[in-house]
Amino acid sequence: MFTQLSQRRPIVLMGAGGLGRRTLPALRAAGVEPLAFADNSPERQGTIIDGLRVLSPADAAREFGATAAFVVTIWGANSTHRFSDSRDQLLGLGCDVVVAFPPLYWAYAEALLPYYLQDLPHKVVDQKQAVRRAFDLWEDDASRVEYLSQVRFRMDADFAGLAHPVTHPAYFPDDLFAWSDDEWVVDGGAYDGDTVRALSFLHGERFAHVLALEPDPGNFGTLAATVAALPPEAGAKIACAQLALASKAGTLHIEATGTAASTTSTVPTARTIAVQAEALDVIIGSARPTLIKLDIEGAEPDALLGARETITRHGPVLAICVYHRQDHLWRIPLMVQEWRGDYAFFLRPHNEEGWDLVCYAIPRSRLLPRVEAGAAG
């Protein structure tokens, strides 16, 4: 579809941030040279980024609105932006054709995909049996509706069909299970300490222990500083380890960006450093965690394999991100359900447009009574 469109119309990329700059070289490699970036940032307007001039949306619309296809290359975590914001802005400025970036990525998939949950739509159809099985796992209507909208998003880039985020903090849903003073928490992908800050804010020193794991050296330094700055009663209960989680011990290679997007790989490159990886079952030994959170940039299934014994034996609450790859939405809950049959599954969005989507697997013995009653009704 998009290759046909680009043959009829040249392209303007709406958004000169990370996604736009990621898209540009792939288009050039395919022989497609966009006309310009359009961007709302006054600091970028009038500049040249990667050899392409940056215009204000009004100037871009005035120059190219009737002849170009405007592709919105804005899609990032921790932002309130939605595709409809840019679409409505550009249409209001007189642009004839405004589309989101996924169809462009499908057209140039070899260079641009996979990218987080974005991948070729036919791969969803190829896994239709697993997609259907996972639908039956969700405990409440909110989860089922969210799941269907997320599956649709992976197939047709229906940004408008996605709900806005829930209000409770990520990983600590106060509407699903009650917090206990003896919680033993594994914070997998602790980043800069954002989760331990949230835990301390919500529950003070009301927990038994936190094991915060972060492989990126820059992030780990910030994490340690964050823990040191917490009230002493809370900070004393938090142990930090510079480790990556995996199914077994070994060496991984991380592009250490010092950001939330630091990712590990089994393949070294000129931009990566080696980090130690270990299975959670080995790391915690005989400890009995009550809550495991994983936000590890696509390595969640492998880390879960390394925690299988702990999950099977102790049944901790699980808060697992399922937005880093297309199939994690169904693959991860199906993995957990295969290991234990007493989990109730919930799906909650904690950010806009597919970001920070979390699967909560909660032992039925820990469900709040009103949750069980609501699911039964």
Q: Using alpha carbons, list the distances in angstroms from residue 215 to 163, 186, 257, 270.
A: 32, 14, 11, 18
- The span from the CA of 162 to the CA of 141, in Å, is 15
If you ran DSSP here, which 8-state letter would residue 243 be given?
A: -
Higher pLDDT, 265 or 359: 359
**Per mean pLDDT, which range of 7-16, 178-187, 208-217 is the poorest?**
7-16
Kindly indicate the confidence band of residue 95, based on its pLDDT and cuts at 50, 70 and 90: very high
- The span from the CA of 301 to the CA of 202, in Å, is 28
What does the pLDDT read at residue 120? 98
* Of residues 59, 147, 78, 75, the one with CA closest to residue 329: 147
The per-residue b/e assignment along 143-165, b for 16 or more CB within 10 angstroms, e otherwise, is: beebbebbbebbbebbbeebeeb
Question: Is the model's pLDDT at 203 over the cut of 60?
Answer: yes
Q: If you search the block for the tokens 């630091």, which residue do you land on?
A: 262
- pTM for this prediction: 0.95
Kindly indicate the confidence band of residue 72, based on its pLDDT and cuts at 50, 70 and 90: very high
What does the pLDDT read at residue 198? 97
Domains and CATH numbers, the chain: 2-113 (3.40.50.720), 130-376 (3.40.50.150)
The three-state secondary structure class of 353 is: coil
Question: Is the model's pLDDT at 371 over the cut of 80?
Answer: no
* Cα separation of the two ends of the chain: 45
The three-state secondary structure class of 231 is: coil
What does the pLDDT read at residue 373? 58
What does the pLDDT read at residue 377? 52
